[in-house]
Amino acid sequence: MNLLDKYNRIIDYMRISITDRCNLGCLYCKVGAELQTHSEKSSNTSNVILSYDEIYKIVLAGAGLGVRKVRITGGEPLVRKDVYKLIEMIKGIETIKDISITTNGLLLEENVEKLACAGLDRVNISIDSLKSPIYKEITRGGDIDAVFRGLYRAAQFGLTPIKINMVPIKGLNDCEIEDFVRLAMDTSYQIRFIELMPYGRNAQWNNEHFISAAEIAARVEKVAALTPIRFKVPGVARYYRLNKGNGIVGFISPVSNHFCMTCNRLRLTSKGMIRPCLFSDAEIDIGTVVRRGAGMDEIQEILLKAVNEKSVGHRGNLETGTNSMSEIGG
């Protein structure tokens, strides 16, 4: 069964933020008070975020409607305890065909084995610099060596293809675009360049440091020629094969070239809100309904309402968003 929205898009993908806490404070993602959320508000936050049982119920309801793919994200998903238990629960839903996680990789090394045994299929790792001092600066203190130890271990456990998300930032890490292309050429990691989104409270800073996907692609082409790869099921990234090595790179251009017509997703925030679109503040409370013990029909009704509210495209007004990506789940 396919779940279709008003514009005939198949909605088969749920992105679930399981926490808005993060162990990094990336310059373009977090500002001011948000930086403290992981240490200061922990006891409050845990009172209101969805439990794994509640998330499971929502995924089960979604699966009954046609959701086939699930991605766990955050905040940083691996700061939440026992994520593998949630993976195992979701993996048990027969019609969920793909379960993946987006992580900054810092806690991957110690978690990979449990995640893989629980049934995790793949991992996306966010790495904005290969140079330790620049990585530290962008993430406000992250340790790139720990990330790579996690990445190697994920590869050993077959959580592949490993996709690396890199956000080029003018004046900070854009000098490394070519290095990331070489990494794609020399390894089996797929590098996805993501346009810096002028989102929420960081809108102005991000706008000043924005580089378009077209500019990034021009830089990539100085290293290797690009041949488009067409997938049967289009996603948000446009992928290209490099003419050197086995490399694949992708471009995600939410700002300069919206991919709304291929949008196949619903988002669930850690606090139990369903978001039809990342770039709109519209959200529907599903957590309260699940908590009062609603049956599958009632939960599915809310998911259908959210699908029905998916708009044909966002209007590029990303700056009006009041939340940061770490709250919604990037």
Catalog residues that contact ligand SAM under the rule CB under 6 A: 22, 28-29, 73-74, 76, 102-104, 126, 165, 167, 194, 196-197, 199, 206, 325-326, 330
H or E segment at 226? strand 226-229
CA 297/CA 98 separation, integer angstroms: 24
CA 73/CA 190 separation, integer angstroms: 19
CA 303/CA 297 separation, integer angstroms: 10
Give 297's contacts (C-beta < 8 A, 6+ positions apart). none
CA 7/CA 32 separation, integer angstroms: 39
CA 206/CA 28 separation, integer angstroms: 6
**Amino acid identity, residue 164?**
I
**Amino acid identity, residue 48?**
V
In DSSP terms, which residues pair with 101 in a beta bridge? Answer: 72, 123
Which tokens is 40 given?
């200061």
Query: What is the CA 23 to chain-centroid distance, rounded?
Result: 16
Which tokens is 145 given?
């060596």
The number of residues making up the chain comes to 330
